[in-house]
Amino acid sequence: DQQVKQNSPSLSVQEGRISILNCDYTNSMFDYFLWYKKYPAEGPTFLISISSIKDKNEDGRFTVFLNKSAKHLSLHIVPSQPGDSAVYFCAARNTGTASKLTFGTGTRLQVTL
């Protein structure tokens, strides 16, 4: 039962353009969402997060949007840079089990010159 889904395994975007990574979830008890970025042979690193009481959070080039009614969140990267090429994981916290995160399967972003 995949409660957090990233349906696009990969995405290719030109440098300078917008990258949009999507994530869907099924559990209405999720109250906090995070995006992690992972380079090869490294551990994931925290990128940005959003609480379920908000619909948008912005940090520099990165913006996360949350649509609770659709159980959908997205990460926008503007402008995309070659250094953004990595695997991006969406994760969610269940308000009833607040010590644990559920991760999606990841989307590999490639930013081309």
Beta carbon nearer to another protein, 32 or 62: 32
The DSSP element (H or E) to which 23 belongs, if any, is: strand 19-25
Rule CB under 8 A: is residue 43 a binding residue for another protein? Answer: yes
Rule CB under 8 A: is residue 29 a binding residue for another protein? Answer: no
Written in H, E and C, the secondary structure of 31-47 is EEEEEEEECCCCCCEEE
Rule CB under 8 A: is residue 17 a binding residue for another protein? Answer: no
Classify burial at 40, counting beta carbons within 10 Å of its beta carbon; exposed 0-12, middle 13-18, buried 19 or more: exposed
The least distance separating another protein from the CB of residue 90, rounded to whole angstroms, comes to 9
Closest CA to 20 of 51, 64, 56, 59: 64
Q: Which of 22, 74, 76, 103 binds another protein (CB under 8 A)?
A: 103
Contacting residues toward another protein, per CB under 8 A = 4, 6, 9, 32, 34, 36, 41-46, 49, 89, 93, 98-106
